[in-house]
Amino acid sequence: LSCTFPIFFLQLFLEKYGYFSEPGAGTHSPAEFTEALRDFQRVTHLPPSGVLDAPTLHQMALPRCGTDDGDSRAAGAGRGSPARRRRRTAQHGRSCPVAGGRWPKRHLTYRVVNWPPYLPQHEVRLAVRAAFELWSNVSSLLFWEAGDGPADIRLTFFHGDHNDGLNNAFDGPGGALAHAFFPRRGEAHFDSAERWSLHSGKGRNLFIVVAHEVGHTLGLQHSPVKSALMSPYYKKLSKDFVLSWDDILAVQNLYGKPSKGSAIQLPGKVFTHFQDWNTDLYSRDRQQRSLSNYYCHSFFDAITADGDHNLYIFKGSHYWVVSASGNASDPRPLQPRWPGLPAGVDACAWSQLTGKFYFFKGGRCWRYAGSKLEAGFPRKCSALGLPRHPDTALYFQQLRRLVLFKGAKYFVVGEEPLGVEPYYPRSLRDWAGLPPGTAGALTHRDASVYFFRDEQYWKFDQAKLRVVATGKWATQLAWMGCWDANSEQVLF
């Protein structure tokens, strides 16, 4: 049995995802099994041994899209080309792509037929809208939500077998999360048994899965490029997520570039949470006003304050300056101010000791004197003993040192030379009442240290060495510059 089960599982899996030229139980020779397995291993960047080893079994068990892998095993060559798409056959209950697997028009409607009952309807609609805009922002396509009635593309949640053929029956949590049909049968189906979420760190992120399945409804097949959204396996949504070059080339090959302006990498690069969106954020009469203090309507990447008590709030490739009086600037691009700084920083701190800005992203650290990147930077965090992907950075006046927070630990860091002080890291319990995973911190002119995470803030008393207050920063801290946070009906 231990030998038979993997072979049976292997055949079902490879048939479901299109690795055999002809489906059918008992019709595959050992050579066909080996070649199909090699194809799968190539697509998933495993050594193409043709052997069902532990890493291959592990890969097969990971959550993924239920649409078959089609021509992705052909190293992605011509993935968006009509000639290649016409060779796809109608397998496993799927319709054959018509007109080369593309829609004959550029304006498409969509409808969200149903949604998980534990997710608010307006938040689901915003996430779906963002998923469609991810594609319209880099192509000539335009999408419009149809409230009811017919629509070109329909998104529906189902349990188990839902009349798409047995190979397309949903399998409960894990495994196949969703599947979709190619043009012109514009349908995407999602497994109701999954725990769907609109957050970046909990459950299956609905935005990222919808965006992937929408790609299929537009005619895109799976990509062999590991970083691509159209890669078959589920990936978590990070703060700096963008479509890969492969995704963009594939959709532009089918529908062309945007008719006006250049391709833009929004909203995928900006929005990792949807429960904080204003339902009118994109309405034309308020869009410009929303941009001026957009960070108030969404979560930011990092925050710090300088010696004049100006706040610097970072999100994606932009930052805002909020004066001591609470007046926010328009969003400004990072590059002119800090040349060479990447978008989506993990943490930032301004040092009161040296007057320099420190930025952290991934495994690297940047240090700027004014707008000049100092010699030798960026530097590797590991070479300095610093944590990768720190949650928060802070200049702590009592220690005259930088402090980096990562999970349940914190690191005290000297500046000259830059490195972790002895006996660190220590437990976050030293900062009584402070939760792990904060997104930023600053020392306010009232001498308290304020920590931020999502919509919350924590006020830390430096004398008592504990948190003394907490609340919603956009509506309760006037100096954050969110004057219209209440009138805008922010979804906090």
Q: Residue ranges for the binding site for Zn(2+)?
A: 65, 162, 164, 179, 189, 212, 216, 222, 230
Residue 9: phi and psi, rounded to 5, are -60, -45
Which segments are annotated as binding site for Ca(2+)? 152, 171-172, 191, 194, 301, 303, 346, 393
Beta-strand relationship, 364-369 and 357-361 = antiparallel
HSE, CB side, 13 Å, CA atoms: give it for residue 167.
20
Answer left, alpha or beta for residue 217, where phi above 0 means left and psi between -120 and 50 means alpha: alpha
Would you call 488 a catalytic residue per the annotation? no
Contact 265, 243 (CB under 8 A): yes
For the chain, what's the residue count? Answer: 492
Contact 220, 250 (CB under 8 A): yes
Q: What is the C-alpha to C-alpha distance for residues 208 and 159, in angstroms, rounded to an integer?
A: 20
**Cis bond leading into 116, ω under 30°?**
no
DSSP 221: -
Q: Which residue out of 187, 213, 455, 488 is catalytically annotated? A: 213
Q: Chain centroid to CA 387: how far?
A: 22
Residue 461, both tokens? 């008393």
Q: How far apart are the first and last CA of the chain?
A: 54
Residue 2, both tokens? 């231990």
Contact 284, 274 (CB under 8 A): no
Strand partners, 229: none
Contact 361, 336 (CB under 8 A): no
Instruction: Identify the sign of the CA torsion 204, 210, 215, 221.
Output: positive
Which segments are annotated as binding site? 65, 152, 162, 164, 171-172, 179, 189, 191, 194, 212, 216, 222, 230, 301, 303, 346, 393
Beta-strand relationship, 466-472 and 456-461 = antiparallel
Q: What is the C-alpha to C-alpha distance for residues 309 and 479, in angstroms, rounded to an integer?
A: 10
Q: Chain centroid to CA 144: how far?
A: 23
Instruction: Identify the sign of the CA torsion 163, 166, 171, 175.
Output: negative
Q: What is the C-alpha to C-alpha distance for residues 299 and 477, in angstroms, rounded to an integer?
A: 15
The catalytic residues are 213
